[in-house]
Amino acid sequence: MDSSNHTETKAESEHSAEKEGRAAAHRQHAAQRHGFGLAKRIALAFAALITIVAFAYSIAIRWSIEVAERHLVTNFLEELFVTAVDDLRAGHDLDLGSFCELYGSAPNIKPATEAMTGYKPGFNEITTDPAQFLFKGSWEKGELVLVCDQVGFEETERGIWFRAGSSVVVVFLISMLLGVFLSRLIMRPVERLSAEVRRSVHLIGTDRYRSIDPRLMTNDEMGELARTCDSAMHRLNEALKREKAFTGDVSHELRTPLAVIQSSAELLAMSDLGARQREQVERIVRYSNRMRELLTLFLHFARNGASSKLNADADTVKGLFALMDDVWRDKAAQKGIEFDIRTEATCPGTYSPVFLGTVVNNLVKNAVLYVPSGSRIVVTERKDGFTVEDNGPGIAPQERERIFRDFTRGANATGEGEGLGLSIAARVCDRMGWRIELLPSETGAHFRVTVVDVEDREFKPLRADERGEAGAS
Q: What is the 3-state secondary structure (H, E, C) of 124-153?
A: EEECCCCCEEEEEEEECCEEEEEEEECHHH
CATH code, domain carrying 342: 3.30.565.10
Q: Name the strands in the sheet holding 446-450, side by side, starting at the edge strand that comes first in the sequence.
A: 338-343, 376-382, 385-390, 446-450, 435-439
Cα 421 → chain centroid: 30
- Shortest CA distance to 338 belongs to which of 390, 274, 270? 390
Structural contact between residues 428 and 421, judged by C-beta atoms closer than 8 angstroms:
no
- Looking at the predicted structure, is the pLDDT value of residue 417 above 90? no
Look at 137 and 128; give whichever has higher pLDDT: 137
pLDDT band at 408 (very low <50, low <70, confident <90, very high): low
Residue 1 belongs to a domain? no
What's the pLDDT at 449? 94
Q: Over 90: is that where the pLDDT of 40 sits?
A: no
In a domain, 95, yes or no: no
Q: How many domains, in total, are found in the chain?
A: 1
| Percent of the chain surpassing pLDDT 90 | 7
User: Is the residue at 10 inside a domain?
Assistant: no
Check pLDDT > 70 for residue 307: no
Residue 345 covered by a domain: yes
Q: Average of pLDDT values for 23-45?
A: 58
Q: Is residue 316 scored above 60 in pLDDT?
A: yes
**325 with 291: CB under 8 angstroms?**
no
Mean pLDDT computed over 147-165: 74
* Residue 36 maps to a domain: no
Task: Specify if 177 maps to a domain.
Answer: no
Q: How many residues does the chain have?
A: 473
pLDDT digits (tens, 9 = 90+) for 95-105: 887 778 888 88
At 66, is the pLDDT very low, low, confident or very high (cuts 50, 70, 90)? Answer: confident
Containing domain of residue 436, as a range? Answer: 313-469
55, 74, 78, 138, 179 from 133: Cα distances, Å: 29, 9, 12, 17, 46
Q: What is the 3-state secondary structure (H, E, C) of 393-455?
A: CCCCHHHHCCCCCCCCCCCCCCCCCCCCHHHHHHHHHHHHCCEEEEECCCCCCEEEEECCCCC
